[in-house]
Structure 1
Amino acid sequence: MVSQSSDGPLNDISWYQWESDNTDANWLLTYVDVLSVILAMLVVLLGQMAVRQMQPIEEQNQIASTYSQLETPVPATIPQPTEVVEETPSQSQPDNSAVTRLTAAIEQRFDDEVKVVQRELGVSLEIADVILFHSGKAELLPEAQPVLSRLAMTLQEIGEADIAVEGHTDDRPILGGPFQSNWELAAARANAVTRFLLDQGFSPKHLRSVSYADSQPVADNSNAGGRAENRRVNLRVDFL
């Protein structure tokens, strides 16, 4: 019995001793756990700090890239020249029937008083100055008015036309009188014929007066016959 009782307490003591040793070592495990948690927290904190430090750098890079994009010159678009095609008004071809009828009428009615000159467009009616004016003058002669009246009536019979009244002279200079040069004399003579046609009912929008002076001679000015041919009034007729 004694041995059993002695074995019992010994067994109890050894068991207690083992329990107490394990209990003393358990705090190490708890300490390690605490250190692990602390280290984990430090890692998290360091990660957050690194992220916060990187964010301003990224924002600065984004701002810098934005400014660089704004400062990059945008290539200007050079407008291509647009070719403008100017439409040239088609020149109306002369009414051949009207030209033929006018030519025939002038030849029948005026003998040598009015000369018909064919042109590319229309015709030109040439009247010598001796029929219309005194030398160096721009007032129509009384005998010129019947000729111009018949000419106006003939033109109105043929049809509507644009008429340019052209004054021409020879190359001899003007000496005294109301005109300073052949330009003024030719202009005054063309104006006198134009006014007469206006009085005969021609539309002002179809009449114009032009002075050529001695710039368009049709004969040699070195002789009297040539100078006489150059002193003239022409009616350039373009039928509409």
Structure 2
Amino acid sequence: MALAGEKPNPKLDDDAEARPERWLLSYSDLVTTLMVLFLALYAIQLAKYHELEIKLLESARSVKNDRSPAGIAAHGAANGQQEAVRAGLLSLLRALRDRGQINIDEESGSVEISINAKILFRAGDAHLLPDSTSVLDQVAAALKGYSTRNILVEGHTDSSPISNAKYESNWELSSARAGAVVRFLVDKGIEPQRLAAIGHSDNIPLLLGDDAAARAANRRVTILVQY
């Protein structure tokens, strides 16, 4: 404040007017510093994540390529257990195969069980025959005791067209037959989440040709057991 008779100092007045705005400069400096800090923390976190990812990949490669005695022994034990499970499953199924009630196709990592449709269904129908339960009971017992992985049930028909009140085509018939077998397996204690049903119609024939023998062989349900 200027005393009486004194002239006001313009410089002091300018400082007084500028003082309330100086905090903005400090605030902007603080915001800039925090932004740089957060960016640095983010970059450090990305570097740590990348380093962890590299370590995991290296660990997976080392396990896969582990040729040490312990690694070889662990791999051999896993293979031995898998073969024991496969052998147990096949031992229960061979009696059915020897009686001509099923066919078995052993592929790498899986076993395919094929059941002729005449054992399971009437012509043009997807309801299981009463006599089919003796075969399916033994198949279900083998799957329940010696399988813990996924099971795919596939329905197959012959090439003869079908159209009736229940099924408009072989697609519907083959799907319904696969579903009927899946329901039976679930009722016998197989976990539903392990099962899937699919209908192939006549698109994957077992035998080529349109004669009676080929059509009879192509009408089937296959059960693919994965390992």
1:157 shift after superposition: 2.0
Where does 1:90-169 land on structure 2 (aligned, <5 Å)?
Answer: 95-110=82-97, 111-169=99-157
Q: Is the Cα–Cα contact under 8 Å of residues 162 and 206 in structure 1 kept in the other structure?
A: yes
Structure 1 CA distance, aligned partners of 2:158 and 2:82? 33
Where does 1:57-68 land on structure 2 (aligned, <5 Å)?
Answer: none
Letter in 1 for 2:154: E
Q: Is the Cα–Cα contact under 8 Å of residues 170 and 221 in structure 1 kept in the other structure?
A: no
| CA displacement, residues 202-239 of structure 1 (integer Å, 9 cap, x when unaligned) | 11110011111111111023211111111000000013
The answer for unaligned runs of 5 or more in structure 1 is 1-86
Structure 2 CA distance, aligned partners of 1:217 and 1:109? 22
Structure 2 CA distance, aligned partners of 1:219 and 1:177? 29
Letter in 2 for 1:189: R
Q: Is the Cα–Cα contact under 8 Å of residues 171 and 221 in structure 1 kept in the other structure?
A: no
Task: Please report the TM-score for the alignment, with normalisation by the length of structure 2.
Answer: 0.62
Task: Please report the TM-score for the alignment, with normalisation by the length of structure 1.
Answer: 0.58
Determine helix, strand or coil for the equivalent of 1:192: helix
- What is the Cα-based RMSD across aligned positions, in Å? 2.5
Determine helix, strand or coil for the equivalent of 2:159: coil
Where does 1:148-227 land on structure 2 (aligned, <5 Å)?
Answer: 148-227=136-215
Structure 2 CA distance, aligned partners of 1:218 and 1:109? 20
| TM superposition outliers: structure 1 runs of 4+ over 4 Å | none
Determine helix, strand or coil for the equivalent of 1:141: coil
Q: Is the Cα–Cα contact under 8 Å of residues 123 and 236 in structure 1 kept in the other structure?
A: yes
Determine helix, strand or coil for the equivalent of 1:150: helix
Determine helix, strand or coil for the equivalent of 1:126: strand
1:115 shift after superposition: 1.0
Query: Paired residue for 1:232?
Result: 220
Q: How many residue pairs were aligned?
A: 153
1:104 shift after superposition: 2.6
The answer for unaligned runs of 5 or more in structure 2 is 1-56, 58-63, 65-77
Structure 1 CA distance, aligned partners of 2:214 and 2:90? 25
